[in-house]
Structure 1
Amino acid sequence: MLPPPPPPPTDRAAVLRRSVNRLARRLRAERLPDGLPPGRLGALAHLYREGPSTPGAMAAALRVQPQSLTRTLAALREDGFVTRVRDPQDGRQWRLELTQSGLAAMARDVEHRDAWLRERMASELNETEREVLRLAAALLDRLADDG
Structure 2
Amino acid sequence: MTSHPPPDPDLLAIAAALRQGTTRLARRVRTVRPTGALSTNKISVLSHLRRHGPSTPGDVAASDRQQPQSLTRVFAELERDGLVARVAAPTDRRQSIITITEAGARALEEDVAERDSWLAAALAPLTVTEREVLRLAAALMDRVADG
TM-score (norm. length: structure 1)? 0.79
Q: Does 1:36 align with 2:31?
A: no
Q: Could you say if the C-alpha distance between residues 132 and 102 of structure 1 is closer, same or farther in structure 2, counting changes exceeding 3 Å? A: same
Q: Does 1:120 align with 2:115?
A: no
Q: Does 1:78 align with 2:84?
A: no
> What's 1:91 paired with?
91
Which amino acid is the alignment partner of residue 138 of structure 1? Answer: A
Deviation at 1:100, TM superposition (A): 0.9
**In structure 2, distance between residues paired with 1:119 and 1:52:** 35
Q: Could you say if the C-alpha distance between residues 49 and 139 of structure 1 is closer, same or farther in structure 2, counting changes exceeding 3 Å? A: farther
Does the 8 Å contact 1:31/1:109 carry over to 2?
no
**In structure 2, distance between residues paired with 1:103 and 1:36:** 12
Deviation at 1:19, TM superposition (A): 0.9
SS at match of 1:84: strand
TM-score (norm. length: structure 2)? 0.79
SS at match of 2:114: helix
User: Structure 2: which 5+ runs fail to align?
Assistant: 1-11
Which amino acid is the alignment partner of residue 74 of structure 1? Answer: A
Deviation at 1:86, TM superposition (A): 5.5
Task: Map residues 1-147 of structure 1 onto 2, 5 A cutoff.
Answer: 11-85=13-87, 91-92=91-92, 93-122=95-124, 124-145=125-146
**In structure 2, distance between residues paired with 1:50 and 1:16:** 30
Deviation at 1:29, TM superposition (A): 2.0
Which amino acid is the alignment partner of residue 22 of structure 1? Answer: R
SS at match of 1:80: coil
Q: Could you say if the C-alpha distance between residues 131 and 86 of structure 1 is closer, same or farther in structure 2, counting changes exceeding 3 Å? A: farther
SS at match of 1:96: strand
Q: Could you say if the C-alpha distance between residues 49 and 21 of structure 1 is closer, same or farther in structure 2, counting changes exceeding 3 Å? A: farther
Does the 8 Å contact 1:52/1:97 carry over to 2?
yes
Determine which structure has greater relative contact order: mean sequence separation of CA pairs < 8 Å that are 6+ residues apart, divided by chain length: 1
Does the 8 Å contact 2:58/2:67 carry over to 1?
no
**In structure 1, distance between residues paired with 2:48 and 2:31:** 21
Q: Could you say if the C-alpha distance between residues 49 and 26 of structure 1 is closer, same or farther in structure 2, counting changes exceeding 3 Å? A: farther
CA offsets, 1:13-59, max 9 Å, x none? 11111111111121222212121222222211222233322111111
Which amino acid is the alignment partner of residue 34 of structure 2? Answer: L
